[in-house]
Structure 1
Amino acid sequence: MSDTTINPDEIAKFTRMAEEWWDPSGKFKPLHKFNPVRLTYIREKALARFGRDGHARRPLEGLRVLDIGCGGGLLCEPLARLGASVTGIDPAERNIAVARLHAEQSGLDIDYRAETAEAIAASGATFDIVLNMEVIEHVDNVPLFMKSASDMVTPGGMMLVATINRTARAYALAIVGAEYVLRWLPRGTHDWKKFITPDEVSALVTRNGLRVAEKIGVVFHPLEDAWKKSADTGVNYMLLAERG
């Protein structure tokens, strides 16, 4: 097994698409549509975990957030606006360049770094909230990646994981449907063999000292053109893990 989480083919793939991160009608259109449900979930769980007032203008003020595989910063920017001190990391330097430029244009102070999770973990850095969103299915050496991500959760902190289940239905919808039929995503965006089940994520999280607090599904409602939380984890799902 590789001693790094970096998959060069994955880095090259996202580097080629880097300029389109902030185009809601471009190659990342599905992620723009997915962003509201995951951002709402992150905010909801952060408010509850850290006892924050949801009516405050900057309810996450002072909380340290790490977004692993941040891409162009689609999650980093709204979390910074909520008051969090945000660090976004991505091994693709072009993604980080795009993210930095967009944050600067938006007047936001975000610490973007072209780094890997294992490098940040090795530095001893810890965060109140670690975001592991739509990234685990793109890395090599998943056990090392999950250990690195888990190690960076400070005592009392939490990690959120969003990914795709390894089921026949996920293959039909996330690959055949999304990439070949509807063409929501470029062909080859996902590899079904790299999908990971909720039980597998739970085992890795638990092995690394965190407690699984919740697992929820996320499903697309075509009539509303929106993603919503669901009890169905058969395709897309999110997992909340906490350190006591």
Structure 2
Amino acid sequence: MTTATIHPHEAAHFGALAADWWDPHGSSAMLHRLNPVRLRYIREQLDAHWHVDARERHPLAGKRALDVGCGAGLLAEPLARLGAAVTGVDAAPENIAAAKDHAAGQGLAIAYHAGELSALPPATFDLVTSMEVVEHVADPAAFIGELATRLASGGLMILSTPNRTTLSKLLLVEAAERIGAVPRGTHDWDRFLKPAELETLLDDAGLEVVDRTGLAPSPARGFKLGGSEALNYLIAARRKK
């Protein structure tokens, strides 16, 4: 697939935040709060998919993982610690530079690439993740199609994205950007995907959804899995049998 999926304005916006990516109190603070919940979901799904004991420290040992829209490596690094051989791809070269520097400081060998996913050398991966990315690409159908081509037989794909609802417009776009919880210009509500729309794109790409859950705010824990999908949701999918 050669269709360009990078939106230049989006790449520039997130590239400008690269230096601040690993600061849990900086412009990416919301991602730091989301990441533990995402990781919990990923761990639950990979344990179920590959029948892994939940006590296993390295459930991805011997497996290849691809994180698309990896930013500065906030998810790629934990995947590497779970045992995976990780490749990270991001539209912004600034993010990839920050990711490489941080991984080197942590002693982690992660293969990072800047640019289009389709420009990667031909390869498939056991686990493909893409968190809060599909709403930022120029062509969601082409993007999901390219993700699908990278998923190995028997592999697992996990995505997260905001839902296009009145509540998400009020809280994720208008309120969050107004109070500085996320940088201004981060979200374009019109490009959010409803769950049924994303499931259609996955189906068209030859994938079947095996799980879907809400990602909602929690007064006690910041965010929690389950419950309402009105703001954000996660989806796990595999190749159709």
- Tell whether the structures are fold-level matches, with TM greater than 0.5: yes
Amino acid at match of 1:209: G
2:133 is aligned to 135
Aligned to 1:201, the other structure's residue is in SS state helix
Asked whether the 8 Å contact 2:70–2:130 carries over to 1, the reply is: no
Instruction: Name structure 2 gaps, 5 residues minimum.
Output: none
1:236 is aligned to 232
1:51-94: CA deviation from partner (whole Å, max 9, x where unpaired) = 22332232210111100000000001111111111100012111
Instruction: Name structure 1 gaps, 5 residues minimum.
Output: none
TM norm structure 1: 0.94
Work out the CA distance in 1 between the residues paired with 2:205 and 2:57. Answer: 35
Q: CA RMSD in A?
A: 1.3
Asked whether the 8 Å contact 1:52–1:60 carries over to 2, the reply is: no
CA drift at 1:118: 2.3
Asked whether the 8 Å contact 1:47–1:60 carries over to 2, the reply is: no
Asked whether the 8 Å contact 1:118–1:145 carries over to 2, the reply is: no
Work out the CA distance in 1 between the residues paired with 2:33 and 2:3. Answer: 34
1:82 is aligned to 82
2:117 is aligned to 117
Work out the CA distance in 2 between the residues paired with 1:197 and 1:62. Answer: 35
Aligned to 1:52, the other structure's residue is in SS state coil
Match among 173, 198, 203 for residue 200 of structure 2: 203
Aligned to 1:155, the other structure's residue is in SS state strand
Aligned to 1:40, the other structure's residue is in SS state helix
CA drift at 1:152: 1.0
Matches within 5 A, 1:20-169: 20-120=20-120, 123-169=121-167
1:171 equivalent to 2:173? Answer no
Work out the CA distance in 1 between the residues paired with 2:221 and 2:211. Answer: 26
Amino acid at match of 2:196: D
TM norm structure 2: 0.96
Q: 52-61 or 229-238: which moved more? A: 52-61
Sequence identity (%)? 44
Amino acid at match of 1:172: L
Amino acid at match of 2:175: G
Asked whether the 8 Å contact 1:164–1:237 carries over to 2, the reply is: yes
